[in-house]
Amino acid sequence: MKKVVKFGGSSLASAEQFEKVGRIIHAEESRRYVVPSAPGKRDSSDTKVTDMLYATYALAEEGKNFSKELKAIKARYQEIIDGLKLKTDLSGEFARIEENFKAKAGKDYAASRGEYLNGIIMADYLGFPFIDSATVIFFDENGDFDSEKTNEVLGAKLETMDCAVIPGFYGGRADGSVQTFSRGGSDITGSIVARAIKADVYENWTDVSGVLVADPRIIHKPEVIETITYRELRELSYMGASVLHEDAIFPVRREGIPINIRNTNDPEASGTWIVASTCQKSKFTITGIAGKKGFCSVNIEKDMMNSEIGFGRRILQAFEDHEISFEHMPSGIDTMTILVHQDEFMHKEQNVVSEIHRLTHPDSIDIESDLALIAVVGRGMKSSRGTAGRIFSALAHANINVKMIDQGSSELNIIIGVHNDDFESAIRAIYDIFVIARL
């Protein structure tokens, strides 16, 4: 069996955490390919190394002295090295980083050094070979991830290696420069490595014991999801659930490789399994609840719009022309509602409204702001009667007015729109009716 194990920043924030990680890796011989993140916060008042690197590089870009800030970053790593009683010497690496910062090598280069340096320490600590991700993970000239070239080169490289440490978050471009994924991109690297070696399992170790049914900042100690499908997780991730980067699903889904979300601080917990499909029923009717604030709705009314060919296309053209993406588009016979991010829309609203009038000649346009969207997701909803009714009943009982509802034909999720002020109360009401009532 071959496993790829990725460890998040909180799992590698200190020497003590490194030791926990070492015990986890050595506990199973199958854990042979390790993807580390940069050191995270040691406590709530601490700063992530990636943020320290961004701040240091900002000074370099401005031509200011950044030696003090770079020294503080070096001290973070030296603390880990000393705590692990390693002989790792990063002075040459930091001299090179200082030189490249002065040469303005770029923000991506700066940010990537967190994972790069942690990878060197991890490789020394485990006695594993180190692979610089810039040599095996590729981006094309447009900055897009080149999945096929990466899979071919990385697969060939790892085929000859029984074990390796491959830093997360970054890769290389054809011109030799470094490029990063978006924040949280170490999850993606782990998934890429898992695909390349055709791993049996991709273990993603973090500071929670799996994917939770709801946001723990809203629900006190929410239940852990035992098994979730790629599609369900994609829906939850898109709506704000943040245990796993949403793009990390794609590489492993192509090979049918399951992901296991585990807790570094509670390694005995089984965590959450993320799979392509499963016959296992959810513990509850729903799998999870997630949501975001900060939307607004553009409600367009016009008699007989349903019989006007191309009406919807022209509406969306008005948004496209002003580079505004839409989130949802519920509609009726004579009405259509476009939901967009409020901060993207508010500065362009009158231009968009004018273009909608010009293109479609509506009877009226009404805009409502300060909305939140909540996704109730679950493969079990398809076979359960009255799910939507129970949601509305719970919200009505909590005196929450539903502004919008949208359900896809797959019956995998129901999207509900409420006022921003009702967001947390709505999630609690839905959680209570589907989870608390079943415990």
Q: Is 198 inside any structural domain?
A: yes
Q: How confident is the model at residue 6 (pLDDT cuts 50, 70, 90)?
A: very high
Same domain assignment for residues 115 and 177 = yes
Q: Is 123 inside any structural domain?
A: yes
Rounded distance between C-alpha atoms, residue 395 and residue 294, angstroms: 20
> Domain ends where: 245, 275, 305?
275
Domain encompassing residue 410 = 288-438
Residue whose C-alpha is closest to residue 433's, from 379, 404, 380, 392: 392
Q: Is 411 inside any structural domain?
A: yes
Q: How confident is the model at residue 409 (pLDDT cuts 50, 70, 90)?
A: low
CATH number for the domain spanning 236: value is: 3.40.1160.10
Give me the pLDDT at residue 331, please: 87
| Averaged pLDDT, 194-219 | 94
CA distances from 251 to 146, 147, 255, 258 (A): 12, 8, 7, 11
| pLDDT of residue 419 exceeding 80 | yes
Same domain assignment for residues 349 and 214 = no
Q: Give per-residue pLDDT as tens, 100-109.
A: 999 999 999 9
Same domain assignment for residues 318 and 421 = yes
Collect all residues with Cβ–Cβ distance below 8 Å to 336 and sequence separation of at least 6: 299, 300, 305, 311, 312, 315, 329, 330
Give me the pLDDT at residue 233, please: 87
CATH number for the domain spanning 301: value is: 3.30.2130.10
> Domain ends where: 231, 254, 275?
275
Same domain assignment for residues 310 and 215 = no
How does DSSP assign 246-273, residue by residue?
GGGHHHHHHHT--EEEEETT-TTS--EE
Give me the pLDDT at residue 410, please: 67
Q: Is 387 inside any structural domain?
A: yes
Q: Is 283 inside any structural domain?
A: no
Residue 165 amino acid letter: V
Domain count, the chain: 2
Same domain assignment for residues 104 and 159 = yes
